Structure 1
Amino acid sequence: MKVLFVDGTIIGNKTGVVLETVQHYIKETGCGFEMERLNFSDYDHQFVDGRPAEEYNEDMKQLIRKFEEADGYIIATPVFQASIPGVLKNAFDMLHPRTMRYKPVSIVANGGTHQHHLVVENQMKPILDYFRCLVTPNYVYTHRDHFDENSKIIDEDVHDRLKELARVFVKYTEMGKELTHGIIDA
């Protein structure tokens, strides 16, 4: 089982800290997953405009391959202006609708206010539903009060929720194994 940890932004570090923490808790489950970190900040992004995948630069082609090769995803997104970053939506726009079908996905998000957690409900979940992902029901949203001045998570409730997210994600991978075999083109 190969899990892709997607840091869906090109700036900031809190989202990455949350992603690293989830990765740590998944390792603690003893699941033995192969884990790979995908930092969007390491890639030269192009706007997705409908052209064939082979016409994009090598970084964009590599992003597509990494999503296709993964068996599950932990997607981390900041919330900017009450929305996901354009670079994350652009990445979703590159993917074939079957790329993530019946694969487990957990969401972690970070924003400046408590109310921005609704971005997960109103934007992330509909996108992942379109892909027919197995979205775990327990996403974790953090905001600036959950971190210290060095961007370390200091809220114990957040840690508890991230541990639970990791446990549920591992269980969802069991469902995904059987469902991804024999996917039809519908």
Structure 2
Amino acid sequence: MSTRILALVGSLRSGSHNRQLAETAAERAPEDVVVELFEGLGDVPFYNEDVDTDAERPAAAQRLRDAAGQADALLLFSPEYNGTIPAVLKNAIDWLSRPYGEGALQGKPVAVVGTAFGQYGGVWAQDETRKALGIAGGAVLQDVKLSVAESVVRFAQLHPRDDEEIAAEVARVVAQLAEGARRPVAA
């Protein structure tokens, strides 16, 4: 049985380097691991508890919850916007954290990686994302990390899949997360 990892990309831009990293993760996943890129994160409305009912819950939010619920682990790809987490990822975390104590993130292994234009590769955003995921109930694998600096330069002419160093690092991250998903979660 394959380990299923759901990838959430925090940039909605079609040419996003973080999306390219996620594509590389799907391509470089070990044979017994499937990495699925969630499509439609931009369609999920901002979290509003008033509409988070069985009768009114937006279909896009339910699709996100269902996909996360069926996954064994989540891998978030975060750029850095103004020194912090992109709103689309924070919103996804908010939807996945509900209902409180029972959300799709509850006890699920999660990791955060990414690339950004700056010299630190978006580490502030990634740290903030890990913090939000942990508070939301996810089992954050703190040692599974990858921050690729200066994405605009590094990937100007090269897709991450064709950058052997980065492709190998992405494959390492996927393998570590899959291993984390196979271990029992401490109660």
Root mean square deviation, CA, Å: 2.3
Asked if the contact 2:25/2:35 (under 8 Å) is kept, the reply is: no
- After TM superposition, the structure 1 = structure 2 runs for residues 11-26 of structure 1, keeping only pairs within 5 Å, are 11=13, 12-26=15-29
| 1:1-186 equivalence runs, <5 A | 1-11=3-13, 12-26=15-29, 29-31=30-32, 33-40=33-40, 43-51=42-50, 52-54=52-54, 55-95=56-96, 96=98, 97-98=101-102, 99-115=104-120, 116-121=122-127, 123-130=128-135, 131-142=137-148, 143-149=151-157, 152-153=159-160, 155-175=163-183, 178-179=184-185
Aligned counterparts of 1:78 and 1:40: Cα–Cα separation in 2 = 17
Alpha-carbon distance in structure 2 between the residues aligned to 1:166 and 1:34: 10
CA distance, structure 1, for counterparts of residue 138 and residue 44 of structure 2? 25
In 2, Cα distance between equivalents of 1:170 and 1:140: 15
Deviation of 1:172 (Å)? 0.8
TM-score of the two chains, using structure 2 as the length reference: 0.79
Letter paired with 1:37 = L
The size of the alignment, in residue pairs, is 173
- How many Å separate the matches in 1 of 2:36 and 2:172? 20
| In 1: Cα distance, 2:143 partner to 2:110 partner | 10
- Measured in 2, the distance between the counterparts of 1:146 and 1:53 equals 45
Aligned 8 A contact 1:19 1:108 in 2: no
Instruction: Tell me if structure 1 keeps the 8 A contact 2:73–2:110.
Output: yes
Give the Cα–Cα distance (whole angstroms) in 1 for the partners of residues 25 and 35 of structure 2: 11
Change (3 A) 1:45 1:101: closer
Distance 1:87 1:164, change over 3 A: same
SS of 1:61's partner is helix
SS in 1 for 2:43: coil
* Equivalent residues of 2:130, 2:140 under 8 A apart: no
**Mapped partners of 2:36, 2:77: distance in 1:** 14
Normalised to the residue count of structure 1, the TM-score between the two structures is 0.80
Please tell me the residue identity of whatever aligns with 2:165: D
Per-residue deviation, 1:136: 4.8
CA distance in 2, matches of 1:39, 1:77: 15
Cα separation, partners in 2 of 1:132 and 1:47, compared to 1, 3 Å: closer
Residues 2 and 70, structure 1, Cα contact 8 Å, conserved in 2:
yes
Tell me, which stretches of 5 or more residues in structure 1 are unaligned?
Answer: none
Q: Is contact 2:84–2:124 with CA below 8 Å preserved after alignment?
A: no
One-letter code aligned to 1:79: E
